[in-house]
Structures are given as C-alpha cells and as structure tokens.
C-alpha cells in the first residue's frame, strides 16, 4: 500500500504529526523500532513497578480556562485534545540552589521576580526588564547559525554573573543542546516555558500523554507499526522513492517525516545503519547526554522534609553546562520529586536525580565496569543531594539508573543526545524534497516542544 505520509518514530513529535495529518484525511503510517511508544519520553515496567524514562515535568503549563496562544493551548487546539484528558497537576514550587544563594519559582513569574529581587537586590530592575523583554518577543526559534547568545543578551541587562548562571541553569537543563551558552531564540522559548508558564505533571506520568496521543491517532484511522524500524531510505537524489524496513519490506509514501534526528536520518538515506552508535563523518563530541537515577522511596519525600517539586543545583562557584571529561559531572544536576506536584497521589514516593554525562566514556566500558560505574555514580549523586536536604537514602527500596547508552539504545539518537544535535534545522528541510525532519533536531525541545514541532512540520509539509 502506498501512504500519503510515513512518519519515522512514535515519540511525542511523530505521534503529534501523525494526528495532525490523519485529521486531514491523509493515510498515515508511523513506524517505530521499539516495542514501546514515547521515544525519549517513554515508560517501562521493572520488578512489577512502572517507571517513566524521561518525565520530570511537562513545561508550558497554562491553567484551566486560559485560552491564549500559549504552546500548550495551541497543541490542545491543533490536536483537538481536551485538557481534562491530560489530568495536569501543577508544581508547588521549584528552586535554583547555588552555594549560598537560592532562587525560588512557581508557575507565576511574579514569584521569581520577587525571589531574584530578594537574593540580588541590585539586579532587581535589570531582571524585571529581562522578563518584560522576553515576554514581548515572539515565540520563535532563531540562531540556526549559532551566532546569537543568551549570555550576551542577559549581560545587556544584568551585571552579576552568578545570577546569569542561576537563570541559565534550569533553562539549559530543560532545553539546551549546546554547551555553555544557547541561541537567544531558544533561550526565550525556554525562559517562557520554564519561568513564565511553568511545570505540571500528568496524573499517571508520561503514560497518560502517550496513551491520549496513541488513542487519538488510531481513532482517526492512523496506522502504527511497532518493532518496525526503518533500515534505509531509498531515493533518486531528489525524492524518497521507498522506505526499507528492518525485515526487508518496502513501503512507499508521498511524504516522509522523520523524528530520528537529522544526521541519523541522513545516515538512513546513505544506507548506513546507525545501530553501532556511530555514523561516518558525524562527531558526537558536542552532544549532551545525562545519567538519571529513579529511586523508589518508602515514604513521600515531603514527609521527611524535601518540599520543592524540582531543584536545579550547582555546587561550584560557577555553573558549567558541558559534556564532562570524565564519565559524569556531579557539580550540578536536577532533583525531581514527582509526588511534590499539587494533588499528586502516587502509589509510592519517587526521587529522580540527573547529572550531565559523557557518552563516549559509557560506550567504551565493559559490561562489568558499566554495572559498577552506574551504581557508583548513583551513590555519589545521592550523597550530594543528601548534603542539601534531609537524607532520602535510608528510605530507598528500589533504584534504577539509565545512562547515555541506554538513551541511545532506546531512541537511536547518536551520542545518547537528549536534545539532539546542536545544529538545528528549524525549517525541517532536508536535501530530499519529500523528506522533512520533525522533533528534536527541528529545534523545539522537551515534551511540549516535540509535540509543537510535529504539528508545525505536519502543517508545513503535509497539507498540499
Ligand atoms: C532522561 C530524560 C529526561 C527528560 N525529561 C524531560 C522533562 O522532564 N520534560 C520534558 O519536557 N522533556 C524531557 N525530556 C526530553 C523529551 O523527552 C524529548 O525532548 C522529547 O520526548 C523528544 O521527542 P521526539 O519525538 O523529538 O524524539 P524521540 O522521543 O526520540 O522520538 C524518536 C523516535 O524515533 C524512533 N526511531 C529512531 N530511529 C528509528 C528508525 N530507524 N526506525 C524506526 N523508528 C526509529 C525512536 O525509537 C523514537 O521512539 C527528557 C528526556 C530524557 C531522555
């Protein structure tokens, strides 16, 4: 059968693109290499417990009844989903903790403005202007050429480099594919997503979002094939002619959208399978990846004194967001307590800890070393958290850890790069006229960003 559109990947962007196209009566097929939907934001069961791979928080929260043009409202409108289906629980409050200073923010940016004014009184006026200026800007990405700088932008309003580091820490952890700095457009998008709109968690975790998307897509007649990877994209130099699956079957389509990543998709066009973790001519050295531990605790963290929803911390004088030389970087990280969202009633307490990690160090470890080093990292990361808050370690009953190589194995993203390549293709365009990129390498990042990206690219390429 020939399809109007084939989409590579059943992550957030692929599913959203699929729904959008199916709404316009296109015959759509989504191909997913793995057995689970969700890609970078999937879920799994281990020892009878359900774990989310990548969910700390959904960014871009807008409260019920809010009908503005914010990304979440746009997604709900374009995918014709009701807000009730996502069952969102907003955060209580989050913190940015640096040595001797703490900033606090909620889903009301006024709280962040007040917190900055208290911790950095001399910068209060400048920071107010940052917020005003960010909110006056369009919600669009720029800096595909990598020339604009969020740090330079912040320095035009603020003098205190520590405050600049503290502002950048959460927005980088939640949406920067580039080390040390980020393009201004991406900064504006992330600043609004994190500080102005804020965080929420769907009841039931990431499953809730995925199930809503898959159900909607199927209800519109969209086809979804799991455990069905794309091995090669055949083309005549101008257009895709057919898609070859892992089992050798060929599928044809007028349009192909790929959420596999730009370099990964080009490797499929060149006939280079990327299952070895490398693609000829593509370096993964500038790609950022993380280690994450998920600890199940026998009592909710708030019961023993860990009250914030999310904490972005840094233990050094300055904040370094970059691929570490060693296997991991303990100097900064993210701590998330899913039970500390308003009204969250989880079956068990959970503490998630995330640190920056070096993919190549993990890729080259022997299986025995890999197992030892994962536990070593998780123990050290927990120790640092225990120095900031009441110790959660005596309450841990189960722990799972995933590394850059886990991320690569389950998503195919080179270098286990959570935010993909630092080079984004905002137009989605590729050298082939009927092949476009959606998701991570298009440029909108995170769960909401990926959904928005799927919609934008489906609208741009799929409506002829
Ligand atoms: C540990 C972690 C924590 C995170 N925390 C958050 C968070 O708290 N909040 C937030 O907003 N975001 C978070 N993210 C980021 C978020 O998950 C991603 O930005 C988003 O899910 C990306 O979606 P995507 O559709 O662009 O890509 P992906 O999810 O990677 O989807 C691509 C899909 O394509 C499939 N695929 C690849 N190659 C092929 C092939 N050849 N054939 C068939 N299928 C293929 C992959 O298996 C995958 O399912 C986190 C990510 C991780 C890893």
Bridge partners of residue 94, in order along the sequence: 105, 310
Residue 304, classified by CB atoms within 10 Å of its CB into exposed (0-12), middle (13-18) or buried (19+), is middle
Distances 126 to 101, 113, 116, 133, 135 between C-alpha atoms, Å: 18, 10, 10, 10, 14
User: Quick one: average pLDDT of 119-143?
Assistant: 91
403 C-alpha to center of ligand 1: Å? 14
Query: For residue 146, what pLDDT band results from cuts at 50, 70 and 90?
Result: low
User: Quick one: average pLDDT of 338-344?
Assistant: 94
Look at strands 28-31 and 2-8 and give their pairing.
parallel
Model confidence pLDDT, tens digit, residues 424-441: 999 999 999 999 999 999
| Under 8 Å between Cβ of 291 and 401 | yes
| Residues above pLDDT 70, as percent of the chain | 97
Residue nearest to ligand 1 atom 19, measured at CA? 446
Residue 72, classified by CB atoms within 10 Å of its CB into exposed (0-12), middle (13-18) or buried (19+), is buried
User: Quick one: average pLDDT of 6-30?
Assistant: 97
Asked whether residue 223 carries a pLDDT value surpassing 70, the answer given is yes
- pLDDT at residue 209, as a whole number: 95
Asked whether residue 167 carries a pLDDT value surpassing 80, the answer given is yes
254 C-alpha to center of ligand 1: Å? 25
User: CB under 6 Å to ligand 1: residues?
Assistant: 8-14, 31-34, 39-41, 53-59, 229-230, 259-260, 268, 290, 292, 407, 411-413, 418, 439-440, 445-447, 450
Residue, of 375 and 48, whose pLDDT is higher:
375
- pLDDT at residue 44, as a whole number: 87
Choose the weakest-confidence range: 2-6, 151-155, 270-274, 297-301: 270-274
- pLDDT at residue 67, as a whole number: 77
| Under 8 Å between Cβ of 421 and 441 | yes
369 C-alpha to center of ligand 1: Å? 27
- pLDDT at residue 148, as a whole number: 86
Q: What is the pTM of this model?
A: 0.96
Torsion of CA 111, 112, 115, 121, to 10 degrees: -120
Structure tokens that stand for 95 in this block = 């913190």
- pLDDT at residue 41, as a whole number: 87
Domains, the chain, ranges and CATH? 2-61+205-282+420-461 (3.50.50.60), 102-195 (no CATH), 288-411 (no CATH)
- pLDDT at residue 210, as a whole number: 95
- pLDDT at residue 17, as a whole number: 98
68 C-alpha to center of ligand 1: Å? 27
Look at strands 289-297 and 310-314 and give their pairing.
unpaired
Residue, of 318 and 53, whose pLDDT is higher:
318
- pLDDT at residue 345, as a whole number: 82
- Cα maximum dimension of the chain: 66
Mean pLDDT of the chain: 93
Asked whether residue 343 carries a pLDDT value surpassing 80, the answer given is yes
Query: For residue 277, what pLDDT band results from cuts at 50, 70 and 90?
Result: low
Within 10 Å of residue 64's Cβ, how many Cβ atoms? Answer: 7
Residue nearest to ligand 1 atom 8, measured at CA? 56
Structure tokens that stand for 297 in this block = 């605790």
Residue nearest to ligand 1 atom 38, measured at CA? 260
Look at strands 88-90 and 200-202 and give their pairing.
antiparallel
Choose the weakest-confidence range: 163-172, 220-229, 338-347, 358-367: 338-347
3-state SS of the chain?
CEEEEEEECCEHHHHHHHHHHHHCCCCEEEECCCCCCEHHHCEEEECCEEEECCCCCECCCCCCCCCCCCHHHHHHHHHCCCHHHHCEEEECCEEEEECCEEEEECCCHHHHHHHHHHHCHHHHHHHHHHHHHHHHCCCCCCCCCCCCCHHHHHHCCCCCHHHHHHHHHHHHHCCCCCCCCCCHHHHHHHHHHHHHHCCEEECCCHHHHHHHHHHHHHHCCCEEECCCCEEEEEECCCCEEEEEECCCCEEEEEEEEECCCHHHHHHHHCCCCCCCCCECCECCCCCCEEEEEEEEECCCHHHHCCCCCEEEEECCCCCCCCCCCCCEEEEEEEEECHHHECCCCCCCEEEEEEEEECHHHHHCCCHHHHHHHHHHHHHHHHHHHHCCCCCCHHHEEEEEEECHHHHHHHHCCHHHCCCCCCCCCCCCECCCCCEEECCCCCCCCHHHHHHHHHHHHHHHHCCC
Asked whether residue 20 carries a pLDDT value surpassing 90, the answer given is yes
Residue, of 271 and 234, whose pLDDT is higher:
234
Asked whether residue 68 carries a pLDDT value surpassing 90, the answer given is no
Counting every residue written for the chain, the total comes to 464
- pLDDT at residue 6, as a whole number: 98
Structure tokens that stand for 76 in this block = 């709900």
443 C-alpha to center of ligand 1: Å? 13
Residue nearest to ligand 1 atom 48, measured at CA? 39
- pLDDT at residue 76, as a whole number: 95
275: left (phi over 0), alpha (psi -120 to 50) or beta: alpha
CA distance 29 to 424: 25
Model confidence pLDDT, tens digit, residues 194-213: 999 999 999 999 999 999 99
- pLDDT at residue 255, as a whole number: 98
- pLDDT at residue 196, as a whole number: 96
User: Quick one: average pLDDT of 73-97?
Assistant: 95
User: Quick one: average pLDDT of 121-142?
Assistant: 91
Query: For residue 296, what pLDDT band results from cuts at 50, 70 and 90?
Result: very high
113 C-alpha to center of ligand 1: Å? 32
Look at strands 223-225 and 28-31 and give their pairing.
parallel
Query: For residue 176, what pLDDT band results from cuts at 50, 70 and 90?
Result: very high
- pLDDT at residue 275, as a whole number: 52
């Amino acid at each position: 059968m020939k399809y109007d559109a084939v989409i590579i990947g059943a992550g957030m962007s692929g599913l959203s693109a699929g729904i959008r196209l199916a709404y316009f009566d296109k015959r759509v097929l989504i191909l997913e290499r793995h057995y689970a939907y969700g890609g970078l934001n999937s879920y799994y069961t281990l020892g009878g417990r359900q774990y989310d791979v990548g969910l700390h928080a959904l960014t871009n929260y807008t409260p019920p009844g809010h009908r503005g043009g914010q990304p979440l409202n746009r997604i709900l409108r374009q995918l014709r989903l009701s807000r009730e289906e996502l069952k969102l629980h907003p955060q209580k409050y989050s913190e940015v903790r640096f040595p001797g200073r703490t900033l606090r923010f909620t889903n009301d940016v006024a709280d962040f403005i007040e917190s900055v004014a208290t911790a950095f009184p001399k910068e209060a006026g400048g920071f107010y202007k940052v917020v005003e200026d960010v909110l006056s800007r369009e919600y669009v990405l720029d800096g595909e050429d990598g020339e604009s700088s969020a740090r330079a932008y912040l320095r035009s309003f603020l003098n205190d480099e520590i405050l600049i580091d503290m502002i950048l820490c959460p927005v980088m952890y939640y949406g920067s594919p580039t080390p040390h700095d980020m393009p201004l457009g991406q900064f504006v998008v992330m600043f609004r997503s994190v500080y102005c709109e804020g965080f929420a968690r769907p009841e039931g975790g990431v499953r809730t979002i995925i199930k809503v998307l898959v159900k909607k897509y199927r209800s519109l007649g969209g086809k979804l094939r799991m455990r069905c990877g794309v091995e090669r994209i055949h083309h005549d130099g101008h257009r895709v002619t057919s898609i070859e699956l892992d089992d050798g079957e060929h599928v044809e389509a007028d349009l192909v959208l790929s959420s596999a990543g730009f370099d990964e998709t080009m490797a499929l066009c060149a006939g280079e399978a990327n299952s070895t973790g490398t693609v000829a001519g593509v370096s993964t050295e500038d790609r950022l990846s993380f280690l994450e531990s998920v600890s199940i605790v026998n009592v909710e963290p708030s019961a023993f004194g860990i009250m914030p929803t999310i904490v972005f911390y840094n233990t050094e004088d300055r904040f370094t967001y970059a691929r570490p030389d060693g296997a991991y970087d303990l100097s900064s990280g993210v701590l998330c307590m899913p039970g500390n969202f308003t009204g969250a009633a989880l079956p068990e307490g959970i503490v998630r800890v995330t640190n920056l990690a070096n993919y190549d160090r993990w890729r080259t470890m022997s299986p025995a070393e890999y197992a030892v080093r994962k536990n070593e990292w998780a123990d050290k990361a927990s120790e640092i958290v225990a120095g900031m808050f009441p110790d959660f370690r005596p309450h841990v009953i189960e722990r799972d850890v995933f590394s850059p190589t886990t991320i690569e194995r389950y998503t195919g993203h080179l270098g286990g790069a959570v935010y993909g390549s630092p080079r984004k293709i905002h137009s989605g365009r590729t050298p082939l006229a009927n092949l476009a990129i959606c998701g991570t390498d298009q440029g909108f990042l995170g769960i909401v960003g990926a959904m928005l990206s799927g919609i934008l690219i489906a609208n741009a390429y799929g409506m002829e």
